[in-house]
Amino acid sequence: MASSNFTEFSESLQTIFGHVFSFIGGHLVSSGAPYDPLFYSLQTYVDFLFWRWQQKQGNRNKLPEFTRTVPLVPFNVRPVDALDSETQLSVTYVFQGHGDPCNDTGTVFNMAGYDANGYDRNGFDNRGYDRDGYTKEGYTARGEKDTRNIYIYNGYSFDGYNRAGYDRRGYNRYGFHISGKSEEF
């Protein structure tokens, strides 16, 4: 990470992760490595380290000139077209404790807890109706029963949430417990 030279940085990563793969063993030290679930976790971490290295001043698009335009087989994509994780691949990383960028609720919900359309984090307005006009109990304002067949899995949707927006353990999709406390990992 300290070097601004791509070749030095790359060789350091390869050496470190070569040792990690050897230590773990199994499929990771063979051509069958992609069939081992750990492979993708480790490769994702390598991508994170590369992203961190790119964040350093002057490292954004560093790659040896002779490798920038050679298409990657079998994808037929040039490295220069996939170098910038954030703008070219829509991939970014958030450090632990800083939240999930895809679920950044701080800029979405106002002080009262509602978004621009008037719905809270679980998709209900201030009168208790969801975007389709149903209450948490599954009725419309006219008392009609919900016929959408969304909550057919013992009261839970295909995504694993009940009408109130909580999973079986009591957490919503943002990690908050029904009691108001956040999930601790």
Amino acid 98: pLDDT? 53
Burial of 163 per CB tally in 10 Å (0-12, 13-18, 19+): buried
Q: What is the pLDDT of residues 2-38, one digit of tens each?
A: 778 888 888 999 999 999 999 998 888 888 889 988 8
Amino acid 104: pLDDT? 52
Q: What is the pLDDT of residues 75-128, one digit of tens each?
A: 888 888 887 777 777 777 766 655 555 555 555 777 888 888 888 877 889 998
Q: What is the pLDDT of residues 132-145, one digit of tens each?
A: 898 888 888 888 98
Q: When comparing pLDDT for 105 and 49, which is higher?
A: 49
Using the structure block, give the residue that is written with the tokens 């490295």.
79
The radius of gyration of the chain's CA atoms, rounded to the nearest angstrom, is 23
Mean pLDDT score, 136-159 = 84
Amino acid 185: pLDDT? 45
Amino acid 146: pLDDT? 85
Whether the predicted pLDDT of 52 surpasses 70: yes
Tell me phi and psi for residue 171, to 5 degrees. -105, 140
